[in-house]
Chains A and B, each alone.
Chain A
Amino acid sequence: DSGVTQTPKHLITATGQRVTLRCSPRSGDLSVYWYQQSLDQGLQFLIQYYNGEERAKGNILERFSAQQFPDLHSELNLSSLELGDSALYFCASSVDPRSTDTQYFGPGTRLTVL
């Protein structure tokens, strides 16, 4: 157990819908990262937050958005869902945003879009 929790574990929804994935970082970690793992694209960085502020952006679609709340948990919102959005979404956390700081990964949320 990494200490990072993600809910829900599984999510099945239809195209065009909107979903919210939730992540609680390890106690004491201020930085949160979101990654998408799909069969065709592999593991891709989406977005990073540090202490409530967006820190870095990767290959995140405009239909996707995220935020980190004052209690440091983070939510990833996916809207106008398409079949290709089906993937495993991982959250990770670290104490600070330095490049040398170890990221601890959560168990992931498996999203299936039908």
Chain B
Amino acid sequence: AQSVSQHNHHVILSEAASLELGCNYSYGGTVNLFWYVQYPGQHLQLLLKYFSGDPLVKGIKGFEAEFIKSKFSFNLRKPSVQWSDTAEYFCAVNEPSGANNLFFGTGTRLTVIP
């Protein structure tokens, strides 16, 4: 079975600081990778996804993620965070050959201080 680890449970940053949230997965085969964000009181929405090709993926709102196959990692980055980035961030994976059910990490809560 697949598992996804997000080691940072709560990250607190000041505005304009750079962000990197870790995501590691355990699975021997090929995976599709996703980052979702949940703003306070809102639904989960997709930030970015990686299936194949360029391992550096750009998403919405200035976020990007890098897939490093040798490290089984898909870390999320943003060069300069804003107060509006305060939210919970979830990494997820699924199998390309399988059904579209997502395996989620436990989430990282990001608090950005103005």
Contact = CB atoms under 8 A, between A and B. Distances in A.
Say whether chain B's binding surface is mostly helix, strand, loop, or mixed: loop
A99 B97 contact: yes
A104 B94 CA distance: 15
Nearest to A42: B106
Given A55-B99, A105-B44, A105-B45, A43 B90 contact: yes
A43 B32 CA distance: 17
> Looking at chain A, what size class is its interface with the partner chain?
20 to 34
B70 interface: no
Interface in B62-114: 90, 94-107
Interface of A: 2, 4, 31, 33, 35, 42-45, 48, 55-56, 58, 90, 92, 94, 97-108
**Which 5 pairs of residues, A with B, have the shortest CB-CB distance?**
A56-B99, A43-B104, A105-B44, A45-B101, A42-B106
